[in-house]
Amino acid sequence: MDAVEFGGVDFVQAPCPGAAQHRDWEDNVVMSIKLLALELYRAQQKVYQLEAQLAEAPFNQQDAIGWQLREAKEELRLLRNIMEGEKSPSPYRTHIPRR
């Protein structure tokens, strides 16, 4: 440990007790973002695949593929919002206009 003088007082520089835990937390955040990015990529690929299937599907299968596509797009939207740090829209009114 190094001693530092400041204003005639000696201060001892000690390692921060939470420094290692903080680095572990940062590593976990980076890993979580990487996993989230991977899920975002997979969701985008699923949307592309379903769009291609819908374009080539016979009429009697288009409805089922359309529902799968809507669900995949919703999942993609949610993942994008999470990645961008946004919240999903509240189903309830959160702002009351003033008169």
Say what the pLDDT of residue 13 is.
52
Instruction: Of 29-38, 49-58, 81-90, give the range with the top mean pLDDT.
Output: 49-58
Band the pLDDT of 36: cuts 50, 70, 90.
Answer: confident
Residue 34, pLDDT score: 79
- Rounded mean pLDDT, 20-44: 73
* pLDDT tens digits, one per residue of 72-97: 999 999 888 888 775 555 666 566 66
Burial class (CB in 10 A: 0-12, 13-18, 19+), 75: middle
Domain ranges of the chain: 42-86
Q: Could you tell me the two tokens for 40? A: 């975002």
What percent of the chain clears pLDDT 70, i.e. is strictly above it?
55
